Amino acid sequence: MNLFKSFRFLNLYWLFSDKLIRIPFTILISSLMARYLGPADLGLIVFAVSFFGIFGFLINSGIEEIITRNLVQEPENAESILAMGLLLKFCGGLIATIVALPIGYYFFTFDEFLLIVIVASSGLFYGPFILESYFNSRYESKFIVRVGLVIFLFSSFLKLIGIFFKLNLYYFGFLVPLEILLISIAYLYLGFSKTVPLKKTKVNKVILIDVLRDSYPLIISGFAVTFYMKMDQIMIKSMLGNVDLGIFSVGIRFVENLYFVPMLITSSFLPMLVEEKSKSIQDLDRATYMLTSSTLFICMLISGSFYIFSDTFINFFFGMEYLKAIPILKVYAFTLVFTALGVSSSRRLLVENRQNLSLFRTISGLLINLILNFLWIPKYGSIGAAWASVISNAFASFLFYGFIPSTWSIFKLQCSSFNPVPLIRYYKNLNLK
């Protein structure tokens, strides 16, 4: 097997190249915005994004993975599958926006509500994002990477203009829906120019019901994920204020910028897991181990780097005003390790059509996170929220599988993934010539 010339590796190469180009720009722009806005205003815009993010489960509901899986298994129905995905994605964004606005109006101040309105308008433009599933299923991510990167650089340029001309907070808020709108337009253009089967979309009720049936556990678990990833920031604002929220957001930003690593690796190799399952359970176990172990050690290396160099990162990029974010980064860095285990196991459950277990494990993590945040934020401040995220993530992504007899096989695979010997042996045996 020539790994580095395989279409799977090339697809992953494009996805990683995109993110590796984005990371320095993201960190640079984020640091300039943080210095310009200050912790209080930064906390306000982070709050607006986090609040709408709670309803993001309706947009990023897990149907993307279902659509990708179905496109691999049923390429002859690609037209109807994409039509259903486009419809569900648009409806999810519309519902998220409609639900978020009255809640924001009732509970928050006018300035906070105005920012929520601006950010929430982005929910109306997510429909065409389902085309990512089509290109991922064909290992052709290079097309979406190219258009996405161009728009990202344009958006970064607009943020620099806002900083240079000292524009107000609402300008930066408007850039959120603008970027989503531009990406959607670009995806539609790309879809029609690359003859994606969208020109004669068909509404197939059977496929629609199948997608909804398979994805509803992921929709509910997606709610739990976004809720416990964003709720800590809402609670910090309510209990401690905008300044503490701004500092906390800086502490977790480096890690959040690298969540793409396990997500991209596992998403890119999802079609491979589907193929291995069709062969035998032993082949699926072997592929799951290799995927989980590779992802785990990459994320362990990243987490360790954040822990060791957190002082340098925060001081250099964000300045003295954000030094309190250093211990937050040291603790929060370890969420990346458990995220690697979690996303790998969720792909395995998806391939086996056991999404309901993803729902149960995510809800358990949500409950633990909420309880710990409620107890620890008033007592320990923002660092308590960081510890709550690590512990709840560790349980939901790893320990949970040890308590359910039907998932002991996954738990054993996760435990074995900490042993690098089979992984090293596997890569040594590859023909890399």
Q: What is the pLDDT of residues 288-318, one digit of tens each?
A: 888 888 899 999 999 999 999 999 999 999 9
Closest alpha carbon to 126 in 74, 15, 52, 21 = 52
| pTM greater than 0.85 | no
Q: How many domains does the chain have?
A: 1
For the stretch 180-199, pLDDT in tens is 999 999 988 887 776 566 65
Q: Which amino acid is at 311?
A: D
pLDDT value, residue 125? 93
Domain assignment present for residue 251? The answer is yes
CA 300/CA 119 separation, integer angstroms: 34
CB burial of residue 10 (10 Å; 0-12, 13-18, 19+): middle
CA distance 379 to 18: 41
The pLDDT tens digits of the residues spanning 61-72 come to 667 778 887 887
C-alpha to C-alpha distance for 87 and 71, rounded to whole angstroms: 16
pLDDT digits (tens, 9 = 90+) for 322-361: 999 999 999 999 999 999 998 888 888 878 878 678 778 8
pLDDT in tens, 111-165: 899 999 999 999 999 988 888 888 877 777 788 888 889 999 999 999 999 999 9
Cβ neighbours around 409 below 10 Å, total? 14
Look at residue 203 and tell me if it is in a domain. yes
pLDDT in tens, 70-92: 887 787 777 778 888 888 889 88
In a domain, 232, yes or no: yes
DSSP 47: H
pLDDT at 101: 95
* 433 found inside a domain: no
Whether residue 432 has pLDDT greater than 70 = no
Specify the amino acid at residue 261: V
Q: Which domain holds residue 198?
A: 3-428
SS3 68: helix
Please determine, for residue 99, whether its predicted confidence score (pLDDT) is greater than 90: yes
Residue 72's identity, in one-letter code, is: V
Coil, strand or helix at 202? coil
> pLDDT category, 5, cuts 50, 70, 90?
very low
Cβ within 8 Å of residue 407, ≥6 positions away: 357, 400, 401
Lowest mean pLDDT among 271-280, 297-306, 387-396: 271-280
> Best-predicted range by mean pLDDT among 24-28, 150-154, 219-223, 405-409?
150-154
Of the spans 215-219, 320-324, 327-331, 416-420, which averages the highest pLDDT?
327-331
Cα 201 to Cα 321: distance, rounded to the nearest angstrom: 53
Write the burial class of residue 416 (CB in 10 Å: 0-12 exposed, 13-18 middle, 19+ buried): middle
DSSP states along 327-391: HHHHHHTTHHHHHHHHHHHHHHHHHTT-HHHHHHHHHHHHHHHHHHHHHHHHHHTHHHHHHHHHH
Q: Residue 3: enclosing H or E segment and its boundaries?
A: none
Residue 430 pLDDT = 58
The tokens for 207 are 């496929």
- What confidence tens digit (pLDDT) does each residue in 246-262 have? 999 999 988 988 888 88
